[in-house]
Structure 1
Amino acid sequence: MLTEFTNPYREHEAACNALKELKIVSRKTIAAGLEAWTLNELFRTNLKVTLVGSGRKWEVQPMLERDDKRPKDDSQFFAMLEAYPLERWEQILHYMVGLQEGFTGVSVYTKQALQHSKLIVLEQNDPIPSLTADGFQFLLMDTKSQIWLFVLKLLELIDSKSSDLVECLTFLLQLNFSTHGRDYSTAGFSDTIVNLMQTLREIGLIYQRSRKDGRFYPTRLVIDLASGLRDVKTDVHRKGFIILETNYRLYAYTDSRLQIALIALFCEIHYRFPNVVIGMITRDSIKQALKGGMSAQQIINYLMMHVHPTLKDKEHPIPDTVIDQINLWEQERQKCTFTAGRLYSQFNSQSDFDLLRKYAEDHGYLVYDNPKARVMVVHEDGHEGVRKYWKKLKKRKEGEK
């Protein structure tokens, strides 16, 4: 019965249209006037190469001579190469939550990328960023997902600035097939790629001692970026550390300044020791977090995600009373809704009011009306249309006179 009302070929048509838009396939008229699909020649050739494993082996650059400044002990160098990307990425996260140590290593371009991603808001005369609701949700992700999102938004920003997006995308894909621990030459790179490398270096995707060095090392973060696996070694987030009691008292067993700063967004910090922070979730602290753009569900998700390992197996690791109360505090804010609008009053006659009110209502602009007082409010977006209609109405009446 259901197939009578739906198109069974809809998914097939959608796939064909997508391939057409990507110029992978095209329609062609063959013998007897029949239509057929043909593969793009370049795509066909490269598909064959991929399927049968033939073709020239890809390399970014020929092998370089050993770096004299690199430590002779390879284990020491690889340990540094493992720690470096996480330190760099954590510095970006520190900047997002307004920690002082995050301000020194973040360039203007990276700040623009974070702002373009709508993860932070920067006021004109305030160097400290404000975390948005999207930014808080971003901090709940694992490190790999965070970097994926940031790189996508970075490419959007590059495209908006009329840079060569294809060249940048090609370079990122090439990095994904590079070898961890091997150095690659920067010789022959365009200015676009050199500038992109500085941002990648800043967020920990490549390691380069200096721009004059002439070589760089892809880190594990960029090599594993396109794989579907999440590597716990490349995750900035620590294991669970939060214990929350039914009296709203919170214990956070962590020394991470990032996590402490996140907790302080929705919790009043009372005591801070070397490896534990004690605070209280209150109505005011939750209200302040909600005012900053967070949602009750985001706060609850954060608490559940970072619950202490000793509570993981419990049926209710976070007390239900606390969860319910956080939701109730959010609902308090939702009792009133604010709508930007324009007030119309002082109508000469009831008929004028009724005509304008009907126009606003028919077009979905009407927010509030009081026929007795001849007062109405329309949406800010609809003000221009209502105003033009009112002027046209007045001209028509004057013409009738």
Structure 2
Amino acid sequence: MESTPSRGGLNRVHLQCRNLQEFLGGLSPGVLDRLYGHPATCLAVFRELPSLAKNWVMRMLFLEQPLPQAAVALWVKKEFSKAQEESTGLLSGLRIWHTQLLPGGLQGLILNPIFRQNLRIALLGGGKAWSDDTSQLGPDKHARDVPSLDKYAEERWEVVLHFMVGSPSAAVSQDLAQLLSQAGLMKSAEPGEPPCITSAGFQFLLLDTPAQLWYFMLQYLQTAQSRGMDLVEILSFLFQLSFSTLGKDYSVEGMSDSLLNFLQHLREFGLVFQRKRKSRRYYPTRLAINLSSGVSGAGGTAHQPGFIIVETNYRLYAYTESELQIALIALFSEMLYRFPNMVVAQVTRESVQQAIASGITAQQIIHFLRTRAHPVMLKQTPVLPPTITDQIRLWELERDRLRFTEGVLYNQFLSQVDFELLLAHARELGVLVFENSAKRLMVVTPAGHSDVKRFWKRQKHSS
């Protein structure tokens, strides 16, 4: 009798992107206090607070003594109690303020002294310079202006997106490819095969660029410590970049080896421009400057003019020159013709089911077509022909008729008695997935495999 793992099924992951406050709220108190040791971090966190929470922080910023909770509660009218609860919970969760017992036993509130001190520095000036002066390096002979930085950032980030959709011309570093897999945006069907886009990856491509970057940086930060990097150091540097001046160069002097390595990753993402790896100066791009200020909208989709027309005969006409958009369309359709400013494709059963096999859902395909519909199609109701949307869903249901369950196969029993004995035990434990008495084979769940195997060994020893 032998047991072997059976093939697993397809897991569809829904993309969930936390905003800045949710991310910081998940950090340990020690990490948060270290983060608040940097004025740039305090200013970035303050900037993202709701207006009511900002008001409270500003009213308490220069108070050295705690205020009674009852007095703070009087600052808000009763009809805004919900906003008051949300802001109170947020400030406590981010350790911006905490409770402190007042003389007489009353509960008071006071700002975190580390946060208070460094927010004062950020707002009023003073303290250590956030970055080293580049005057010692002299004028940059290869200075970059704002348009060239914007073009560079767009091109670098598009390389990442092209790699995700499988463009043969797009190549990324091994670190970046590994990060895309760890984030669940890409996966390899078999070991050694090139990775392909997943359902979450397709959702990722539907986001606008600031949201894509924020989600991507979240995944990077979550794995930073496992790569031996200091989370506080790199997160503080990101916040520092968000307050940089577009078109101005900054020095790398004083950076640790870990931070220099992080700078090279940012260079690959398009967040900074550095002419050479060993260059002593870098230019933050618009993507880096807008990173922390654009996180609150990280759930939106890209807003761009529509360019797709879908006909009831499953023909698709895309009036675009974007290689990325064409590659996205090719994920769920068959390309027929290509012209300088237009492509013609056919939505077929095979192309849709191939996309579904990669983890893309029918709803995602329909959403993609609807959000990129040509203005001509937007004039009709519904925007997409019902025959197209219904058929795409039916093709998905057709594939989903088969459901896969992971399990361990037991076969090659020497006798029917042995098979029946083990079958009864697996059924009694509730771990039986499949049985075939004629062929003497059975499949049990991976969780129940050890119990079944242990039972079988005991039976063989006792017989």
Q: Is 2:115 the counterpart of 1:43?
A: yes
**In the aligned structure 2, how far is the partner of 1:356 from the partner of 1:311?**
57
**1:349/1:124 CA distance change after superposition, 3 Å:** closer
**1:91/1:366 CA distance change after superposition, 3 Å:** same
Q: Is the 8 A contact 2:314 2:347 kept in 1?
A: yes
**In the aligned structure 2, how far is the partner of 1:243 from the partner of 1:342?**
48
**In the aligned structure 2, how far is the partner of 1:294 from the partner of 1:131?**
8
Match of 2:386 in 1: 320
- Unmatched tracts of structure 1, length 5 or more: 1-7, 72-76
Deviation at 1:155, TM superposition (A): 1.6
**In the aligned structure 1, how far is the partner of 2:115 from the partner of 2:109?**
14
Q: Is the 8 A contact 1:97 1:129 kept in 2?
A: no
**In the aligned structure 1, how far is the partner of 2:198 from the partner of 2:214?**
19
AA aligned opposite 1:62: D
Deviation at 1:391, TM superposition (A): 5.2
Residues 159-238 of structure 1: pairs in structure 2 closer than 5 A: 159-228=225-294
The alignment yields a C-alpha RMSD, in angstroms, of: 3.7
**In the aligned structure 2, how far is the partner of 1:351 from the partner of 1:175?**
67
**In the aligned structure 2, how far is the partner of 1:372 from the partner of 1:274?**
62
Task: Work out which of the residue numbers 256, 266, 287 in structure 1 matches 2:322.
Answer: 256
**1:117/1:181 CA distance change after superposition, 3 Å:** same
**Partner deviation per Cα, 1:172-192 (whole Å, 9 max, x = no partner):** 000001111111111111111
**In the aligned structure 2, how far is the partner of 1:348 from the partner of 1:82?**
71
Deviation at 1:270, TM superposition (A): 1.2
Task: Work out which of the residue numbers 168, 172, 175 in structure 2 matches 1:100.
Answer: 168
Deviation at 1:34, TM superposition (A): 7.2
Q: Is the 8 A contact 1:240 1:307 kept in 2?
A: yes
Q: Is 2:450 the counterpart of 1:378?
A: no
**In the aligned structure 1, how far is the partner of 2:198 from the partner of 2:179?**
14
Match of 1:62 in 2: 133
AA aligned opposite 1:306: R
**Partner deviation per Cα, 1:118-157 (whole Å, 9 max, x = no partner):** 222356544x431122211111111111111111112223
Percent of residue pairs bearing the same amino acid type: 44
Q: How many residue pairs align between the two structures?
A: 371
Q: Is the 8 A contact 2:98 2:110 kept in 1?
A: yes
**In the aligned structure 2, how far is the partner of 1:79 from the partner of 1:342?**
58
- Unmatched tracts of structure 2, length 5 or more: 1-80
**In the aligned structure 2, how far is the partner of 1:68 from the partner of 1:187?**
19
Q: Is the 8 A contact 1:25 1:37 kept in 2?
A: yes
**In the aligned structure 2, how far is the partner of 1:389 from the partner of 1:293?**
38
Deviation at 1:108, TM superposition (A): 2.2
**In the aligned structure 1, how far is the partner of 2:295 from the partner of 2:434?**
53
**In the aligned structure 2, how far is the partner of 1:238 from the partner of 1:140?**
11
Q: Is 2:338 the counterpart of 1:266?
A: no
Match of 1:74 in 2: none
Task: Work out which of the residue numbers 155, 172, 197 in structure 2 matches 1:87.
Answer: 155
Match of 1:357 in 2: 427
Q: Is the 8 A contact 1:90 1:236 kept in 2?
A: no
AA aligned opposite 1:148: W
Comparing 259-268 with 221-230, greater Cα deviation is found at: 221-230
Deviation at 1:225, TM superposition (A): 1.3
Q: Is 2:312 the counterpart of 1:239?
A: no
Deviation at 1:111, TM superposition (A): 1.8
Deviation at 1:303, TM superposition (A): 0.8
Which structure has the higher relative contact order (CA within 8 Å, separation 6+)? 2
Comparing 337-346 with 179-188, greater Cα deviation is found at: 337-346
Task: Work out which of the residue numbers 361, 368, 371 in structure 2 matches 1:295.
Answer: 361
Q: Is the 8 A contact 1:207 1:218 kept in 2?
A: yes
TM-score, normalization: structure 1? Answer: 0.79
**In the aligned structure 1, how far is the partner of 2:91 from the partner of 2:330?**
46
Deviation at 1:244, TM superposition (A): 0.4
Secondary structure of the corresponding residue to residue 292 of structure 2: coil
Match of 2:182 in 1: 116
**In the aligned structure 2, how far is the partner of 1:48 from the partner of 1:392?**
71
Deviation at 1:205, TM superposition (A): 0.8
Match of 1:5 in 2: none
